[in-house]
């Protein structure tokens, strides 16, 4: 069988990996699928691969995330990036690239040389999830030159995981290439969701597992505890809500542990037992473990500043949890204000706190958004359909 090799060079995992995992599950029915990732990768995601019996291999060398300041630190960051990409590409050379496909998590503005190198030897696919960060005019011009250059390689193909991302990136690539971009929506697995909902939930046992109090209205967020996910907006809103009512608890599930400085800042909000930060490796090794935790929530919120179409939001909506998120990038493709959820502006603390209180105090609104949100996601974001778009593109690149 032809191989599809999925590869990235960072340790963290999130929506991008879950999105690729959904494609892998369908692609392996027609291709030999293998994942190439760096040593030290998150064990919880490795357990997801094991659960699906997907093969994987490791290479030495990874990049580290986070902003850096100072010329020396920036130089060292670029050096580590170069070394990591070289190690990943050398590992990929173990495979017969001339016959197969590489779906890799690199971007033209940062890794143009690596993408060109691969495109000269094999069929290369990347997935874009959201717009590029703000940049100066000269940097943006440089990025456009890189995107238009890689557009010339017939072996290079792009997916976008939402409509907003496609419309954004069309202006960076050549017109013909931009129009050829296919959308493989960030999606959910309806049978998996329905199976989770059919399972009898021992609420008291789960509350005890996570050391959460009984008979509290639970507001949940799932995502990395980082600035772009709106962590301080979440805590600002939590403080306001807790001043108005005593029976609410705020829970954030993160797949990466914050540093000591961030933990100290979170403590300074004075929420005490009304805020819980749970690490994803405490949840369990299987996706259904996370869904059980989801089902404890009365409201889901994701107050992001930068976001594509977040899988955690779609999963919450599919599970029937009334959801609040921000009017950025592709989120409005899922959240229609007061129809399928509540949409606020990024950084709008009062909007978030008012939305939470409205849902808490209005059973009719909560039920309507729960039912409408679930129906919308199930009808429009089925991962099997998204995976089929990708698989057809893979076959097309092979001339099949």
Helix axis angle, 71-92 to 108-119, nearest 10°: 30
State residue 69's pLDDT score: 67
Reported as a single tens digit per residue, the pLDDT across 334-375 is 999 999 999 999 999 999 999 999 999 999 999 999 999 999
Reported as a single tens digit per residue, the pLDDT across 259-317 is 999 999 999 999 999 999 999 889 988 889 999 999 999 999 999 999 999 999 999 99
* Residues 233 and 287 occupy one common structural domain: yes
* Burial class of residue 116 (count of CB atoms within 10 Å of its CB; 0-12, 13-18, 19+): middle
Is the predicted pLDDT of residue 194 greater than 80, yes or no? yes
* Residues 171 and 224 occupy one common structural domain: no
* Residues 287 and 170 occupy one common structural domain: no
Is the predicted pLDDT of residue 78 greater than 90, yes or no? no
* Residues 207 and 161 occupy one common structural domain: no
* Residues 22 and 98 occupy one common structural domain: yes
Domain of residue 131, residue span: 3-187+383-397
Reported as a single tens digit per residue, the pLDDT across 120-161 is 999 999 999 999 988 999 999 999 999 999 999 999 999 999
| Dist. CA 102–CA 92, nearest whole Å | 9
* Residues 153 and 295 occupy one common structural domain: no
Number of domains in the chain: 2
Q: For the whole model, what pTM was predicted?
A: 0.88
Select from 120, 125, 126, 127 the least CA-distant residue to 97.
120
* Residues 81 and 154 occupy one common structural domain: yes
State residue 383's pLDDT score: 94
Instruction: CATH number of the domain at 328, please.
Output: 3.40.50.2000
* Residues 101 and 207 occupy one common structural domain: no
Contacts of 390 (CB under 8 A, 6+ apart): 23, 26, 27, 125, 159, 182, 184
* Residues 181 and 194 occupy one common structural domain: no
* Residues 198 and 156 occupy one common structural domain: no
| Dist. CA 93–CA 267, nearest whole Å | 48
| Dist. CA 191–CA 293, nearest whole Å | 18
């Amino acid at each position: 069988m032809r191989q599809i090799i999925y590869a990235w060079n960072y340790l963290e995992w999130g929506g991008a990996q879950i999105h690729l995992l959904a494609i892998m599950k369908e692609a392996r029915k027609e291709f030999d699928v293998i994942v190439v990732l760096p040593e030290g990768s998150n064990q919880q995601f490795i357990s997801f691969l094991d659960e699906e019996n997907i093969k994987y291999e490791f290479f030495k060398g990874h990049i580290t995330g986070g902003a850096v300041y100072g010329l020396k630190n920036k130089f060292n960051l670029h050096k580590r990036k170069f070394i990591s990409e070289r190690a990943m590409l050398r590992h990929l050379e173990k495979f017969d690239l001339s016959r197969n496909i590489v779906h890799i998590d690199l971007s033209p503005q940062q890794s143009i040389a690596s993408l060109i190198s691969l495109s000269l030897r094999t069929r290369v696919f990347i997935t874009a999830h959201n717009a590029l960060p703000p940049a100066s005019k000269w940097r943006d011009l440089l990025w456009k030159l890189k995107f238009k250059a890689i557009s010339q390689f017939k072996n290079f193909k792009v997916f976008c995981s939402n409509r907003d991302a496609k419309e954004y990136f069309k202006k960076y690539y050549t017109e013909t290439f931009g129009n050829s971009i296919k959308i493989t929506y960030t999606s959910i697995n309806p049978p998996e969701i329905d199976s989770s909902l059919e399972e009898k939930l021992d609420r008291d046992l789960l509350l005890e597992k996570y050391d959460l109090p009984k008979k509290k209205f639970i507001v949940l967020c799932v995502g990395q505890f980082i600035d772009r996910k709106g962590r301080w907006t979440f805590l600002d809103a939590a403080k306001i809500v807790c001043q108005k009512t005593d029976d609410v608890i705020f829970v954030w599930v993160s797949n990466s542990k914050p540093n000591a400085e961030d933990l100290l800042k979170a403590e300074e909000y004075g929420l005490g037992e009304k805020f819980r930060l749970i690490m994803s490796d405490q949840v369990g090794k299987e996706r259904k473990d996370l869904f059980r935790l989801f089902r404890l929530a009365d409201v889901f919120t994701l107050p992001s500043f930068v976001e594509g179409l977040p899988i955690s939001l779609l999963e919450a909506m599919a599970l029937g949890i009334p959801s609040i998120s921000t009017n950025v990038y592709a989120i409005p493709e899922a959240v229609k204000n007061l129809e399928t959820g509540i949409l606020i502006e990024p950084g709008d603390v009062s909007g978030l706190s008012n939305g939470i209180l409205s849902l808490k105090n209005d059973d009719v609104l909560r039920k309507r958004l729960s039912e409408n949100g679930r129906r919308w996601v199930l009808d429009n974001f089925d991962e099997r359909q998204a995976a089929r778009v990708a698989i057809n593109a893979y076959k097309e690149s092979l001339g099949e």
